[in-house]
């Protein structure tokens, strides 16, 4: 390994550039790794290697896209965060890890040092990443560096307790395209006796001292999901958590922290993170008295315990973290790119979301062959590509009181099975999708009558129903096998291209009486793992099948479920105005390319609001377009409008679904206006959707200053829907559109406009 030294003014200059990021120690290091080299024997290349190790300073540095993440071993053997922020130059000095001395007897160094992963022991009072009870009563755990390996762009660091053979592997994998870092931990019992894990998180992210941190997170309720919250961080702890055994609706496992007292959409340093876990979870944001922040996340410790026998290990979910210096907007654009390319199945080779039709709001449970075929014909006539039959097709399902668990086709509604309907849908040029809710059972079902012990329950305790249903215990191998086999049969016997996978309640009485007592709480982990494994096995066997994650709306959207599903249903609320803020919130954490948005009936069933068909379409066209209206009630002119708008959507859908999203005006905070702009990945096009709630006091619509364009390229403007001001030019430079802007001419209530800018090829 080559090393270089800096002295005097050479040191000063790079230090100026560090300001956007964060250092956790003031100590300097004079030895750094030369570009393209590595202590681990990797060959030098033109591009800096992704993972550097400096064996003298004992520091690790990961670089990806615009981000550097640096940590090292301090003199105590603890792994200590050093820097996370804007990418540093290859030759920039890396500070050496030095444990903080603390300032008083009440402030032990172990708490003042920003550790990457801390065991509960040695006086730790901040949230530990790992807490273990040993059979001899010892609960002290102090983790020090043991060794590390680099393989396939993955850095694994092993920590070990100072006396016991408990080994923790910390796994780091940085995405080169976005700099998003995936972190997880594996706890291994190498002692001779079992022990109990009482708390384990995936990782700790540390941010250095600053007195103007703002935390953002997403909260919600049924039909009112994805509200962006913002709060200043002060000493103390903010706990974001789901105890529902699934991702949950109240809070989503995502956060962003911005260093600014007046956050701007597209300017400023933002650190963000998201958990890849669909069970109960917790994220703690702790701010210490020096205004340093540590964020721990993973399984919630609430009602958690996991026994490890000698030789066994437990792996945590992944906790993803990223950094952007382009504000919260830049942070979400990075996350979108990461999700679409590296999380959802098929990654960068995935198909764009087809325009789908779903029958739920039109028919409710009242589905049958003739009715569905009639809707399918109408859907095909407007350009729909996927026809989805929702709830009601199976068992004795007439309403939500019966049938869940009995996954045979209802012979009164479909006397010839599903094949005639599927054949009809295919003959109309669409593929076919079906609603299922595999993890649930109605007590009024053959399955429950036969297997009452298959549900989560505590012996001799009530079984609380939600929507008249109970939760099957997927942690049980027999239940897992049943669920896999009925879905495999359904997909093998029918040409089904899509499943809308629903999950319409949370757990109560989370008991697993058939398991040994010490294993019963593992239900939280094993259930979710079995869910993932069913989804993975089904996808392997039926690779053409796509899946939507739905949970009574958006109650199960996270980076874990998105590994095995292609899209998500953000909310049962399909009112196009409410959807503007629901969708706005959703996209802080998740990509428009996975966000399903249906055009439904007016007045809307949920809030009786009346809007035009054009307004409804434009609202839904900001995501992955679907139609959920009762087409039997449409007039011929509605079909004409829908045909035109579906065609317009298809022309821009790659830009909307896969492009870079800019929030020109956020609907947050009851704004009268809402505007999104999506810029195609290759920059050839931008699509702008502008909405007006109602004009007041003759106020003009705010001037729109576009973003993300090539300043010197020429773009031509195409107004697709709505009206721009008279005299709006048709051709101008990127600079013009971004700085002179566009004047939209919207007046009245619930109006919308849609226009595109197309980059002209240089002559
Ligand atoms: C949930 C879903 C709806 C619909 C119904 C069917 O509420 O969110 O879209 O599928 O179930 O019962």
pLDDT for 297 beyond 80: yes
pLDDT at 25 over 80: no
3-state secondary structure of 149: strand
Q: Mean pLDDT across the stretch 683-706?
A: 95
Parallel/antiparallel/unpaired status of strands 227-232 and 154-161: unpaired
Q: Measured in angstroms, how far is the CA atom of residue 167 from the centroid of ligand 1? A: 45
Q: Of residues 453 and 40, which shows the higher confidence score?
A: 453
User: Pocket of ligand 1, candidates 393, 398, 572: which has the most ligand atoms within 8 Å of its Cβ, to mutate?
Assistant: 572
Dist CA 606 CA 225 (whole Å):
14
Cα radius of gyration (the chain): 27
Mutate to test the pocket of ligand 1, among 221, 358, 400, 435 (most ligand atoms within 8 A of CB): 435
pLDDT at 22: 52
Bridge-based pairing state of the strands 306-308 and 195-207: antiparallel
Which residue's CA is minimally distant from atom 7 of ligand 1? 552
- Ligand 1 atom 3: the closest Cα is on which residue? 552
Output the pLDDT for position 669: 80
Q: Does 497 have pLDDT greater than 80? A: yes
- Are residues 272 and 329 in contact, defined by beta-carbon separation less than 8 angstroms? no
Whether 406 is catalytic is no
DSSP secondary structure letter of residue 720: E
pLDDT at 348: 76
What is the C-alpha end-to-end distance of the chain, expressed in Å?
Answer: 49
Segment 130-149, tens digit of pLDDT: 999 999 999 999 999 999 99
Which ligand 1 atom is the nearest neighbour of the CA of 552? 8
Ligand 1 centroid, distance to 502 Cα (angstroms)? 7
Q: How far is the CA of 390 from the centre of ligand 1 (A)?
A: 8
Non-local CB neighbours of 358 within 8 Å, separated by 6+ positions: 388, 390, 500, 598, 626, 627, 628
Q: Which residues contact 149 (CB under 8 A, 6 or more apart)?
A: 155, 156
Task: Specify whether the CB–CB gap between 694 and 670 falls below 8 A.
Answer: no
Residue nearest ligand 1's atom 4 by CA: 360
Compute the distance from residue 360 Cα to the ligand 1 centre, in Å.
7
Q: Check whether 41 has a pLDDT greater than 50.
A: no
Q: Helix or strand or coil: residue 87?
A: coil
Closest Cα to residue 662, out of 680, 647, 682?
680
Residue range 427-432: mean pLDDT, rounded: 98
What is the per-residue pLDDT across 253-268, written as a single tens digit (0 to 9) for each?
Answer: 999 999 987 888 999 9
Query: How far is Cα 171 from Cα 697, in angstroms, rounded to an integer?
Result: 58
Centre of ligand 1 from the C-alpha of residue 551, in Å:
8
Q: Which of 54, 92, 169, 572 is catalytic?
A: 572
| Of residues 494 and 33, more confidently modeled | 494
Q: Is the CB of 552 under 6 A from ligand 1?
A: yes
Q: Which of 258, 382, 418 is nearest to 326 (CA)?
A: 258
CB contact at 8 A, 416 and 369: yes
Residue 46 token pair = 């033109």
Residue % of the chain over a pLDDT of 90: 89
Residue 12 has pLDDT above 70, yes or no: no
The CA-based angle 154-160-162, given to 5 degrees, is: 155
Q: Give the residue, by CA position, lying nearest to ligand 1 atom 12.
A: 391
Percentage above 70 pLDDT, the chain: 94
- Whole-angstrom distance, CA of residue 685 vs CA of residue 319: 34
**Tokens at 615, concatenated:** 């307004």
532 touches ligand 1 (CB under 6 Å)? no
Per residue in 450-486, pLDDT (tens digit) is 999 999 999 999 999 999 999 999 999 999 999 999 9
Q: What is the pTM of this model?
A: 0.94
With a 6 A CB cut-off, is 598 part of the ligand 1 pocket? Answer: no
- Our answer to whether residue 140 is catalytic in this structure is no
Average pLDDT for residues 572-588, to the nearest whole number? 98
Structure-model confidence comparison of residues 1 and 298, the more confident one:
298
**504 ligand 1 Cβ < 6 A:** yes
The closest-lying atom of ligand 1 relative to the alpha carbon of residue 551 is: 8
The CA 606 to ligand 1 mean position distance, Å, reads 14
Which atom of ligand 1 approaches the CA of 435 most closely?
Answer: 10
**pLDDT above 70 for 47:** no
Pairing relationship of beta strands 431-436 and 386-389 according to DSSP bridges: parallel
Q: What pLDDT score was predicted for residue 100?
A: 80
Query: What is the dihedral angle through the alpha carbons of 199, 204, 210, 213, rounded to the nearest 10 degrees?
Result: -70
Closest CA to ligand 1's atom 11: 552
CB 390 near ligand 1, within 6 Å: yes
Q: Which residues contact 447 (CB under 8 A, 6 or more apart)?
A: 405, 406, 441, 454
Residues 63, 161, 391, 502: which is the catalytic one?
502
Given this model, what pLDDT does residue 602 score?
A: 98
CA of 505 to the centre of ligand 1 (A): 11
* Nearest CA, atom 2, ligand 1: 552
Looking at residue 566, what is its pLDDT? 98
With both helix axes pointing from N to C terminus, report the angle between 576-589 and 613-620 in degrees, rounded to the nearest 10: 10
């Amino acid at each position: 390994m080559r090393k270089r030294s800096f002295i005097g003014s050479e040191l000063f200059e790079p230090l100026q550039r560090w300001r956007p990021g964060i250092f956790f120690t003031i100590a300097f290091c004079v030895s750094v790794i030369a570009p393209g080299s590595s202590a681990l024997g990797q060959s030098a290349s033109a591009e800096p290697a992704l993972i550097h190790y400096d064996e003298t300073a004992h520091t690790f540095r990961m670089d990806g896209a615009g981000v550097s993440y640096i940590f090292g071993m301090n003199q105590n053997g603890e792994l200590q965060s050093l820097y996370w922020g804007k990418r540093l130059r290859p030759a920039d000095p890396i500070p050496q890890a030095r444990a903080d001395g603390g300032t008083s007897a009440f402030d032990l160094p172990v708490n003042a040092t920003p550790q990457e992963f801390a065991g509960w022991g040695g006086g730790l009072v901040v949230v530990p990443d790992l807490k273990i009870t040993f059979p001899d009563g010892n609960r002290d755990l102090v983790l020090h560096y043991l060794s590390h390996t680099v393989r396939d762009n993955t850095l694994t660091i092993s920590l070990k307790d100072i006396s016991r053979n408990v080994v923790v592997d910390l796994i780091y994998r940085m995405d080169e395209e976005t700099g998003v870092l995936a972190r997880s931990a594996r706890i291994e019992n190498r002692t001779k006796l079992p022990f109990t894990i009482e708390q384990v998180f995936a990782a700790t992210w540390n941010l250095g001292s600053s007195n103007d941190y703002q935390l953002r997170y997403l909260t919600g309720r049924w039909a009112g999901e994805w509200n962006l919250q913002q709060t200043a961080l002060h000493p103390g702890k903010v706990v974001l958590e789901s105890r529902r055994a699934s991702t949950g609706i109240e809070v989503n496992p995502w956060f962003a922290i911005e260093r600014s007292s007046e956050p701007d959409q597209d300017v400023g340093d933002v650190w963000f993170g998201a958990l890849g876990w669909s069970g109960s979870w917790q994220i703690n944001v702790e701010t210490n008295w020096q205004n340093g922040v540590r964020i721990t996340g993973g399984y919630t410790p609430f009602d958690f315990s996991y026994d490890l026998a000698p030789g066994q290990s437990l792996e945590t979910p992944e906790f993803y973290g990223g950094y952007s210096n382009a504000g919260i907007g830049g942070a979400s654009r990075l996350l979108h790119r990461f999700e679409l390319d590296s999380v959802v199945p098929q990654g960068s080779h995935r198909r764009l979301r087809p325009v789908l039709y779903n029958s739920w709001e039109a028919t409710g449970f009242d589905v049958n062959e003739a009715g569905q075929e009639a809707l399918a014909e109408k859907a095909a006539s407007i350009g729909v590509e996927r026809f989805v039959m929702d709830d009601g097709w199976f068992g004795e399902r007439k309403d939500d009181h019966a049938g869940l668990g009995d996954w045979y086709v209802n012979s009164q509604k479909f006397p010839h099975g599903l094949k005639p309907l599927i054949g009809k849908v295919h003959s109309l040029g669409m593929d076919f999708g079906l609603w299922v809710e595999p993890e649930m059972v109605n007590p009024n079902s053959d399955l429950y009558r036969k297997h009452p012990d298959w549900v989560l329950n505590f012996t001799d305790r009530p079984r609380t129903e939600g929507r008249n249903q109970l939760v099957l215990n997927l942690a049980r191998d027999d239940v897992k096998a049943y669920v896999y086999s009925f879905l495999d049969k359904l997909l093998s016997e029918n040409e089904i291209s899509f499943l809308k996978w629903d999950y319409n309640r949370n757990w109560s009485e989370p008991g697993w009486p058939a398991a040994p007592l010490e294993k019963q709480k593992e239900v939280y982990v094993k259930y979710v793992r079995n869910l993932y494994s069913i989804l993975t096995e089904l996808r392997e066997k039926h690779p053409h099948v796509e899946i939507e994650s739905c949970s009574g709306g958006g109650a199960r959207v996270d980076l874990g479920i998105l590994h095995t599903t292609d899209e998500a249903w953000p909310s049962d609320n399909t009112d196009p105005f409410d959807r503007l803020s629901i969708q706005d919130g959703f996209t802080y954490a998740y990509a428009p390319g996975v966000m399903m948005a249906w055009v439904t009936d007016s007045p809307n069933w949920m809030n009786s609001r009346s809007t035009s068909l054009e307004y409804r379409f434009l609202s839904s066209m900001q995501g992955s377009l679907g139609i959920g209206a009762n087409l039997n009630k449409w007039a011929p002119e509605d079909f004409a409008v829908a045909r035109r708008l579906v065609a317009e959507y298809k022309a821009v859908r790659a830009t909307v679904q896969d492009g870079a999203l800019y929030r020109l005006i956020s609907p947050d905070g009851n704004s009268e206006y809402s505007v999104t702009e999506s810029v195609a990945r290759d920059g050839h096009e931008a699509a702008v959707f502008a909405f007006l709630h109602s004009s007041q006091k003759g106020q003009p619509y705010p001037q729109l200053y576009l973003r993300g364009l090539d300043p010197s390229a020429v773009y031509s403007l195409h107004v697709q829907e709505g009206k721009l001001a008279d005299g709006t030019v048709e051709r101008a430079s990127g600079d013009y559109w971004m700085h002179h802007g566009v004047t939209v001419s919207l007046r009245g209530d619930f109006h919308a406009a849609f226009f595109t800018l197309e980059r002209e090829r240089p002559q």
